[in-house]
C-alpha cells in the first residue's frame, strides 16, 4: 500500500475543500440575511464567506493555475456545490410562457418541454436558475434558445413573446380558504427571427 501518510494528506486536503465549499454556502446564506439568525451576523457571514472563497482559490485571477486546479478537482469529485438542498427555505418556482403570434392574428401559448420526466425535472431547475441574479448575464441568451426550440416546432410563427414569471404557491391556510397561486411577471422579451428586442 502506498504510504498511509499520502492517503492521510489527501484525506485532509479533500475534506478541507469540502468544508470550505459547504461553509461558504452556509455563510453566504447568513450574509444574504436568508436565515433566522440576527442581521448583526450578516457582515460576519460575508467575511467568513470571503475566507472560504480564498481557501477555494476564488480570490485568485481567473487564469490562475491554482484556481483552475482546485476548480477542476472539485468538479471531478462532484463537490463543487454545497449541500444546502431545500434550505434554508423553499422559494417559489418559475414559469416561462411563450405567446406565439401568427401571421393571421392567431395567438397560441406554449412552454418549453421535453419528452421524459427526468429531463422535465432538469428543465424546471433551469427556470429556477434563470431567476437567480447570478444568471442574469446569460438569461436572455437562454430564453432565446428556449424560444428557438419552440420555433422549430412552429415555423410559421411571426413573433414570440417570452414571459418569465415568479409563482408563489399559497400557504396552507390560504389554500384551505380557496386561494391559489399568485403570479408576478419578472421580465419578458419580444422575439422575432430577424430581430430580438427586449421589452422590459
Partner 1 sequence: MAPLRPWWTRFLDFLFPRETDKWLGALRIGLGLLVTVYALFLRSDWHYLFASTGRGLVSRQLGEAITSFDSPLIPRLGWLVAVGGYADIGEDAVLSIAWACLLCMGLLLLLGLFSRPAAIIAWFLHLCAAESGGLFAYGADDFMTTGLFYLMLSPLPDRYSLDRQLLQAELKDPQLLGFWRRVLQVHMCFVYFVGGLAKCLGSGWWNGANLWRSLTRPPFNLLSPDILVRFKYALPILGISICMIELGYPFFIWIKKTRLFWLVCILAMHAAIGLAMGLYLFALVMIVLNLAAFGIGMRKERPVSAGSMTDGSTEQHPNVSGLAPGGSPIGG
Q: Which residues contact 99 (CB under 8 A, 6 or more apart)?
A: 107, 108, 109, 160, 161, 163
Could you tell me which of 200, 81, 72, 189 has the C-alpha nearest to residue 141?
189
Query: Which of 107, 119, 153, 193 is the binder for partner 1 (CB under 8 A)?
Result: 119
Q: Pick the stretch among 90-98, 102-110, 154-162, 188-196 that binds partner 1 (CB under 8 A).
A: 90-98
Please answer whether residues 16 and 8 qualify as being in contact, where contact means their C-beta atoms are separated by less than 8 angstroms: no
Q: Nearer Cβ to partner 1, position 47 or 68?
A: 68
Rounded Cα–Cα distance for residues 108 and 153 (Å):
13
Min dist CB 19 to partner 1, Å, is: 7
Q: Does residue 17 belong to the site contacting partner 1 (CB under 8 A)?
A: no
Closer to partner 1 by Cβ: residue 84 or 200 = 84
3-state DSSP assignment of residue 92: coil
83 lies in the binding site for partner 1 (CB under 8 A): yes
Q: Which of 16, 19, 39, 182 binds partner 1 (CB under 8 A)?
A: 19
> Per-residue x/- marks for partner 1, 161-200, CB under 8 A?
--------x-xx--xx------------------------
The residues near 49 (Cβ < 8 Å, ≥ 6 apart) are 24, 27, 28, 31
Amino acid at each position: 500500500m502506498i504510504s498511509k501518510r499520502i492517503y492521510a494528506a489527501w484525506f485532509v486536503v479533500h475534506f478541507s475543500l469540502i468544508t470550505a465549499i459547504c461553509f461558504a454556502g452556509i455563510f453566504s446564506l447568513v450574509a444574504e440575511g436568508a436565515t433566522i439568525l440576527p442581521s448583526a451576523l450578516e457582515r460576519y457571514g460575508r467575511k467568513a464567506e470571503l475566507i472560504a472563497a480564498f481557501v477555494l482559490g476564488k480570490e485568485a485571477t481567473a487564469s490562475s493555475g491554482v484556481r483552475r486546479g482546485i476548480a477542476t478537482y472539485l468538479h471531478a469529485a462532484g463537490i463543487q456545490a454545497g449541500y444546502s438542498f431545500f434550505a434554508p427555505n423553499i422559494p417559489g418556482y418559475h414559469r416561462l410562457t411563450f405567446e406565439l403570434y401568427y401571421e393571421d392574428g392567431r395567438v397560441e401559448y406554449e412552454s418549453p418541454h421535453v419528452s421524459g420526466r427526468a429531463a422535465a425535472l432538469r428543465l424546471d431547475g433551469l427556470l429556477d436558475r434563470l431567476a437567480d441574479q447570478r444568471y442574469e448575464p446569460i438569461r436572455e441568451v437562454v430564453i432565446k434558445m428556449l424560444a428557438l426550440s419552440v420555433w422549430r416546432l412552429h415555423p410559421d410563427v411571426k413573433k414570440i413573446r417570452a414571459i418569465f414569471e415568479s409563482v408563489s404557491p399559497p400557504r396552507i391556510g390560504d389554500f384551505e380558504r380557496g386561494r391559489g397561486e399568485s403570479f408576478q411577471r419578472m421580465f419578458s422579451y419580444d422575439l422575432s427571427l430577424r430581430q430580438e428586442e427586449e421589452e422590459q
